[in-house]
Amino acid sequence: MKLFTKRGCVIFFVIAIIYIILELAFDITETSLGFLVELTNSFRPKTGTIWSQNSKDVTANEQLEEYTQQKPAQEEIIQIDDLYQLKTLLDERESVVISFTQFLQIYTMLPPNSAQQIIPPFTLLRLIHDKQWTRTRISKGEQQLSFFFLDSDNQLLLDSYPMLGAIYDVTSSTRLKRSTLQGMPQFTGRTVTSEQFFTALLDLPANIQRQIISNPFELIAWQQNLSSVAISKFVTDDTVILGFEISNGFDSSVQMFESSQLAIGYLINKLNELYPDVNISMPRP
């Protein structure tokens, strides 16, 4: 019995030693593999949902850190009245500051899905209810937008980073709150009378006309009240915005339509040919 007990102790001791050695070997192997993965991490392809989301998070954090470190002084609030003005200014300056009332005006012009990407409605309601928000700084990056909601001391209250499409994909025919073309920066020096527009348009081939105005029935409805037409100086995704100012008694409104860049080139050439004083240049990216 004593011999069995002694032998059992020896066996138990040997097993314990083997277990400890295996555990240490496993730990060393695991540590080595982790080190190897970390060492080769930068060489492996960064694909998949996790990498994509991580890349967006890194970009957003870098922008927020840059903004926080800069601690900008009070920036001038730009007066805008519609979505197209905002897009034009972002294309020109890459960053603008608008008042909270102007942001709300733009927000209500967006489709619900686009507005949700920028800031969820209940989050916006809370921001309004807290009564600290006074301005919004909007910046345009290569693939996304940055929205910084600021108080009167220019301190950050909230930030969001939607993709460019949240604003730039909203390009359907839209009735704007601004009543006239005058003062819209994208149309400065690029406005013609309705008579000049129709004369040039009707002198072009039918296939070009359809690329300029996809819904000519609107022109028939507006013809008696259309006071002027303007051609944007910018090209976005091979399209150019046309602005139509429609007068209704004591009131007026503006409607925007997308037209083919190529067709707009024919229209501008025809306008300049018929009316040399117009002298409209070709839109630019």
pLDDT digits 0-9 by tens, 173-232: 444 444 577 768 888 889 999 889 989 998 999 899 989 988 887 777 776 788 899 999
pLDDT at 160 over 90: yes
pLDDT band at 52 (very low <50, low <70, confident <90, very high): low
Calpha distance 197→228 (Å, rounded):
8
Domain locations in the chain? 2-41, 71-168, 174-274
- Residue environment code for 130-151, b if the CB has 16+ CB neighbours within 10 A, otherwise e: eebbbbbbbbbeeebbbbbbbe
Question: Amino acid letter at 111?
Answer: P
Mean pLDDT of the chain: 80
For residue 202, the 8-state DSSP code is T
Question: What is the structure's pLDDT at 36?
Answer: 65
Q: What is the pLDDT of residues 105-130, one digit of tens each?
A: 788 778 888 889 999 988 888 888 88
pLDDT (0 to 100) of residue 196: 93
Coil, strand or helix: which one is 224? coil
Question: What is the arithmetic mean of pLDDT over 252-256?
Answer: 80
Poorest-confidence range of 31-45, 215-229, 234-248? Answer: 31-45
pLDDT band at residue 77 using 50, 70 and 90 as cut-offs = confident
